[in-house]
Amino acid sequence: MSAAIQINDVTKRYGALTVLENIDLEIAPGEFVVFLGPSGCGKSTLLRMIAGLEAVDSGTISLGGDRIDTLPPGKRGVAMVFQSYALYPHMTVSQNMGFGLQNIGVAPRDIDRRVKAAAETLEIAHLLDRKPAKLSGGQRQRVAIGRAIVKEPQAFLFDEPLSNLDAALRGRTRLELAQLHQRLGATMIFVTHDQVEAMTLADRIVILNERRIEQMGAPMEIYQRPATKFVAQFVGTPAMSFLPVSGIEDGARGVTLDVAGAGRVETGVHLPATFARENASLGIRAEDAKVLTPGEDGVPLRVKVVERLGDRAFIYGTLSDGTDFVVEDAGRSTVAAGQEVRIGFDPDALHIFDSAGRAYHHTEGA
Amino acid sequence: MADRSAFSPESLTENRLLYWIAAGLAVVMLAPVIWIVGLSLKNNQELMLGTEAVFRAPYTLKNYADIFVNSQVFGWFLNSMIVAVGQTLGVLTLCSLAGYAFARLEFPFRRTIFILVLFGLAVPEQAVIIARHQMFNWFGLHNTHIALMLPGMSSAFGVFLMTQFFRAIPREIDEAAMLDNTSQFRIFWKVLLPLTMPAQATLGIFTFLLAWNDYWWPLISATKKEMFTLTIGIASSQTNFAQSEGLGFLSAQAIFASLPVVIVYIFFQRHIVTAVSGGAVK
Amino acid sequence: MAESYRRSRWSHALFVVPYLIVFLTLLVFPLFWGMWLSLNKVDLFGGAEFVGLRQYARVLSDPVFHQAVRNTVIFVAVSVPVLVGLGLFLALALNRKTRGAAFLRGLYFSSTILSVTIVTLIWRIVFIPNDGLMALIFAGLGWEPIGFLSTKGWSLFSVGVATVWWCIGLPMMLLLAALQQIPADLYEAAALDNASKGRILTRITLPSIKPTIMLVAVIQIVMQFQLFGQALLMTNGGPAGTSRPIVMYIYETAFIRWDVGLGAAASEILFVIILCAAMLQYWISTRKEEV
């Protein structure tokens, strides 16, 4: 039931505008892949090309080893859940779920059986005779998923399916989708701009930006070892702080940096000889910096705002050169706006970016 | 005591005095109608002596009964029905197909053709009616039901309305249907067309009323008495006004002729208002 | 083929062909044929002779046409302000959520759905001398009776009364729709700003629906320029042509006197007038969207 997807050198243009360029991607059978990126990065377009709703300008797409990019959408063996659900308003829930099977001439008895089975799984059996207008947002969402399940597709495509739900329901549906994936073991592609959805659901995240794949990898790999400054900035809340680097000095543990607002910063990162030293920057996540106890020696931070989340607090401030910086502190933090505190960094969790945005990290055992 | 009811924005715009003036003016709206209803219930001979007889009993339904017995009104009624229903079905079919294509399909010169059709909205009847009359003459079509139905089907309004309506249906519905392996015609027929029912109703009722009430075209196209529509027929009996047939009978004819549109109006008022105001106020 | 419905195909055009055939044969062709007719003299045997603008010259020098234009312009100049003003008044008065207001809205709109034949029949019976409702009222009040349909001046007036009675529904409904689109929070903000009812009307309500008022006026100008059935059926243009409108002139020349070329020329002249008004309407309605 689940099949591999190969995307080979795919390009998409709208007139003179290229929205995707030379995309190569292989998805293993049963893998849950999330396309993550800012709006307009082409992630939905890529999904719609797999579905057959957008034409491929060059390159090929295969599913289970068979080329599908020349087939009409209904013949590709994929099912899609739309952001707006796109349920047929004039059909009941069971008609909605059975319509696709009816179109390919499945016997009414079998349609009935498959619709009932899917409805049981999704706990919507009691809604089968209702029309979409009489359903809540969450229920519509389930019907949309049910409509995909009954088709027993080789791959499921989700186009931001959670973005129309309220926060609580979104969290719950996320968990249920993860369970559904475990149970069905189907290949799933999920498009979102929400990094929490991406981090929690994905076996592998594909980050798209400006026509290209910026990075692919397991969620924690993306988070801890972002390949580029863009990924570092896009993934993680609050966003990583970046400090301009004015000088780099090699050392045994790693390079030591001259940073305008923070003086000399020792890192656990080794840079290759080819590293272009001009216009480099240092990236630090809020949880990789800490507020030092008074009297300890550290980098001074002028506090502007303290954001308390209960279990932790984010302290937003500026360094001596005016650069913005965020540091995480304990929930009971006593730091207040207007104060000046001293902060320190974990040298092994620092990221260095060259002028082109390529990232360098601490390597274990190096 | 202070008014402690909650603030409502209506209280700022509503004006009791205006409202009651409007209610009073309704008498002017209604008086002529009541007058006609009264006349229709009176014996013609009694009315000959003076119409103030309306205010006195006895009343009778004889005038209405006469419509079915000794007049051509019933035949005209049938003509009107055939023409109005035929024209409505024609308009709905043509405009649904065209609206779907303009809203959803891509074909050469689509934009140009659509703009051309929109220009059709600006063409008034009297700019084409003389030529139309000649054309139907060439083909000997005058005094047929078809001739009465056809010109109304060229109206661009319906195409415009249906195109707007198809456009308002989210594309994802089509796309979901495509992923459900639905053929293009089946998407139109099974998925989208049922969704346009409100627009079909609006356009259908609107067309029916226009066809039923049409005056000028039937006036010049239907010249034989048996091909008259109700509008033309009643108008023709008005010319020998108050002479032969009598005010009571004339009034009863008018009320009988209006019954279908009044019934349609009572049941579908909302659709009619949408049709007439939808085009102008979005 | 993938996403076939987005691809441009000749076969897709099949959906518009049925309408297009009707549109081209019954609207586009007659439109141009009408222009041709206005430029050619056609005799009864089918012969045609190009006469250029001679028929236009005949129309423009015809005193009957002059009178018809004058009648129509007077009619439009009086009936349109009345229709817009009364429509605005009714819309303001009946813009409330009570059952009574809904009933009155329905009542005021109801006359619109009647055919011109019925409307004129009703009003003729109201206006006829001796036995009409007006005659009875005048007699009851001891006033001198007026021959509403047969007196110069009063005949056009009577046509106007019937027209206003018949057409008042549309302006009212359009203006009501516009009133209901004014966001409620605008009024809430005004209430917080301590605005009086009068100021709310002149500073918020009227400016908000100004584009619609303009639109309604233009629609009515276009419609009332086409005055025809009421005049034909109520007064037959009389007395002495003082209530004959342009369309009735076209009807009489083309279909009573069978001077087709003259009728066609007159209808082209009216078409140009109406086209100007329609362009004004288009301009107003597109401008409205930008606001």
CATH of the domain at A130: 3.40.50.300
Would the CB atoms of B179 and A78 count as touching at under 8 Å?
yes
Interchain CB contact of B193 with A (< 8 Å): no
Model confidence band, residue B1 (pLDDT cutoffs 50, 70, 90): very low
The answer to whether the CB atoms of A90 and B170 lie below 8 A apart is no
Contact A52 C4 (CB under 8 A): no
* Chain C residues closer than 8 Å to B232 by CB: 117
- Residue C218 CA to residue C222 CA, distance in Å, equals 6
Say what the pLDDT of residue A328 is: 94
Which pLDDT band holds residue B243 (cuts at 50, 70, 90)?
A: low
- The pLDDT value recorded for residue B274 is 73
| Maximum CA extent, chain A | 79
Do A93 and A40 share a structural domain?
Answer: yes
Q: What is the structure's pLDDT at C200?
A: 83
Q: Does C8 touch chain A (CB under 8 A)?
A: no
Per the domain annotation, does A302 fall within a domain? yes
- The pLDDT score that the predictor gives to residue C44 is 63
Angle at the Cα of B145 (from B143 to B146), degrees rounded to 5?
105
Residue A177 domain-assigned?
A: yes
Residue C3 to residue A56, Cβ atoms within 8 A: no
Mean pLDDT of C261-287: 84
Instruction: Give me the pLDDT at residue C1, please.
Output: 38
pLDDT tens-digit profile of B11-69? 666 778 888 998 998 988 898 999 889 888 888 777 777 777 777 778 888 888 888 77
For residue A325, what are the domain limits?
Answer: 238-361
Q: Are B149 and B87 in contact (CB under 8 A)?
A: yes
- Interchain proximity B180–A80, CB inside 8 Å: no
Residue C16: which of B102, B276, B277 has the nearest Cβ?
B102
Q: Which CATH superfamily is domain C59-290 in?
A: MetI-like (1.10.3720.10)
Is A277 among the domain residues?
yes
Question: B7 pLDDT band (50/70/90 cuts)?
Answer: low
Residue for token digits 């859940």? A81
Q: How far apart are CA A235 and CA A210, in angstroms?
A: 16
In terms of CA atoms, which chain A residue is nearest residue B180? A100
Asked if residues A62 and A51 have their Cβ atoms less than 8 Å apart, the reply is no
Note the pLDDT of residue C136: 82
Supply the pLDDT for residue C12: 87
Option in B105, B280, B281 nearest C12 (CB): B105
Residue type (1 letter), A15: G
- What pLDDT score does B195 carry? 92
Averaged pLDDT for residues C7-15: 85
pLDDT of B10: 63
Average pLDDT over residues B221-235: 89
Cα dihedral across residues C230, C234, C236, C237: positive or negative: negative
CA distances from C289 to B52, B281, C179, C206, C211 (A): 54, 10, 16, 17, 10
Question: Are A223 and A274 members of one domain?
Answer: no
Task: Report the gap between the CA of C9 and the closest CA in chain A (Å).
Answer: 15
Q: What does the pLDDT average to over B207-225? A: 90
Q: Which residues of C touch A55 (CB under 8 A)?
A: 2-3, 6
Q: How far is B1 from chain C (nearest CA, A)?
A: 21
Mean pLDDT of C109-116: 89
| DSSP state letters, C227-286 | --HHHHHHTTT-STTTT--HHHHHHIIIIIS--HHHHHHHHHHHHHHHHHHHHHHHHHHH
What length is written for chain B? 282
Please tell me which residue, B146 or C132, carries the higher pLDDT value. Answer: B146
Query: Given this model, what pLDDT does residue C135 score?
Result: 81
- How far is the alpha carbon of C58 from chain B, nearest alpha carbon, in Å? 18
- Among B170, B182, B195, select the one facing A103 at the smallest CB separation: B182
Which of the residues in chain A have pLDDT under 50?
A: 365-366
Chain C residues closer than 8 Å to A73 by CB: 2-3
SS (H, E, C) chain B: CCCCCCCCCHHHHCCHHHHHHHHHHHHHHHHHHHHHHHHHCCCHHHHHHCHHHHHCCCCCCHHHHHHHHCCCHHHHHHHHHHHHHHHHHHHHHHHHHHHHHHHHCECCCHHHHHHHHHHHCCCCHHHCHHHHHHHHHHCCCCCCHHHHHHHHHHCHHHHHHHHHHHHHCCHHHHHHHHHCCCCHHHHHHHHHHHHCHHHHHHHHHHHHHHHHHCCHHHHHHCCCHHHCCHHHHHHHHHHCCCCCCCHHHHHHHHHHHHHHHHHHHHHHHHHHHHHHHHCCCC
Cα–Cα distance between A249 and A262 in angstroms, integer? 15
Contact A55 C4 (CB under 8 A): no
Q: Check whether residue A243 and residue A338 sit in a common domain.
A: yes
B85, C201, C203 from C193: Cα distances, Å = 55, 14, 12
* A73–C2 CB contact, under 8 Å: yes
Considering only the beta carbons, identify the residue of B15, B113, B273 that sits closest to C173: B273
Inter-chain CB proximity B29 and C215 less than 8 Å: no
Q: Is residue A339 part of a domain?
A: yes
Question: Which of A197, A227, A257 is a domain's end point?
Answer: A227
- The answer to whether A342 and A325 have CB atoms below 8 angstroms apart is no
Q: What is the mean pLDDT of chain A?
A: 91
Mutation to test the C interface, candidates B63, B154, B166, B266, most C Cβ within 10 Å: B154
Question: CA-to-CA distance for B251 and A297, rounded, in angstroms?
Answer: 104
My answer on whether A216 and A296 are in the same domain is no
Query: Does the beta carbon of B106 lie under 8 angstroms from any beta carbon of chain A?
Result: no
Q: What is the distance between the alpha carbons of residues C116 and C216, in angstroms, rounded to a whole number?
A: 21
What is d(CA C124, CA C116) in angstroms, rounded to the nearest whole number?
12
Residue B107 and residue C10: Cβ atoms within 8 Å? yes
CB contact under 8 A, A70 and C1: yes
pLDDT at res. B239 = 62
Contact residues, chain C, for B22 at CB < 8 Å: 89-90, 93-94, 104
Which of A199, A227, A255 marks a domain boundary? Answer: A227
Q: Name residues whose C-beta falls within 8 Å of residue B85's C-beta, 6 or more positions apart in sequence.
A: B208
**Residue A289 main-chain phi, psi, to 5 deg:** -120, 155
The amino acid present at A120, given as its one-letter code, is E
User: Given pLDDT bands bounded at 50, 70 and 90, which one contains residue C52?
Assistant: confident
* More confident site: C49 or B221: B221
Which H/E stretch holds residue C172?
helix C169-180
Interface A-C: count of C-beta contacts within 8 A: 19
Top residue of B165, B169, B179 to mutate, by most chain A CBs within 10 Å, is B179
Stretch C268-272: mean pLDDT: 92
How far, in Å, CA of A36 to CA of A30, rounded?
Answer: 19
Phi, psi of C60 (to 5 degrees): -70, -20
Please give the C-alpha separations between residue A266 and each of A301, A315, A323, A328, B217, in angstroms, as whole numbers. 18, 22, 19, 20, 93
Instruction: Determine which of C1, C3, C5, C9 to mutate to test the interface with A (most A C-beta atoms within 10 Å).
Output: C3
In Å, how far is B175's CA from the nearest CA of chain A? 7
pLDDT value, residue A366? 41
Chain C residue with minimum CA distance to A50: C2
What's the domain count of chain A? 2
Say yes or no for a CB contact (<8 Å) between B131 and C278: no
- Summarised one tens digit per residue, pLDDT across range C88-104 is 999 999 988 888 888 89
> Shortest CB distance from B180 goes to which of A83, A84, A100?
A100
Judging by beta carbons within 10 Å of its beta carbon (0-12, 13-18, 19+), is residue A364 exposed, middle or buried?
exposed
Considering only alpha carbons, which residue of chain C is nearest residue B38? Answer: C133
Q: Does residue A272 have a cis bond before it (omega within 30 degrees)?
A: no
Distance of CA B175 to CAs A73, A140, B221, C288, Å?
9, 17, 47, 33
- Tell me which of 1.10.260.40, 1.10.3720.10, 3.40.190.80, 3.40.1280.10 is the CATH number of domain B71-237: 1.10.3720.10
Q: Does A321 share its domain with A281?
A: yes
User: How many alpha carbons lie under 13 Å from residue A3 in its C-beta half-sphere?
Assistant: 21
Unique residue bearing structure tokens 């051509």: B72
Give the pLDDT confidence score for residue B174 in this predicted structure.
Answer: 92
Chain B residue whose CA is closest to A73: B179
Q: Which residue of A lies nearest to C5 if distances are taken between CA atoms? A: A53
- From chain C, the residues in CB contact with A52 under 8 A are 2-3
pLDDT 10s digits, C212-268 = 888 888 889 888 999 998 899 888 887 888 899 999 999 999 889 888 889 999 999
**Range with the lowest mean pLDDT among A94-98, C3-7, C269-273?**
C3-7
The number of C-beta contacts closer than 8 angstroms across A and B is 60
Q: What is the pLDDT of residue C5?
A: 52
CA dihedral over A347, A351, A354, A360, signed as positive or negative: positive
Structure confidence at residue B282 (pLDDT) = 38
CB contact under 8 A, A86 and B181: no
The answer to whether A237 contacts chain C (CB < 8 Å) is no
Q: Which chains touch B (3 or more CB pairs under 8 A)?
A: A, C
- pTM, two decimal places: 0.83
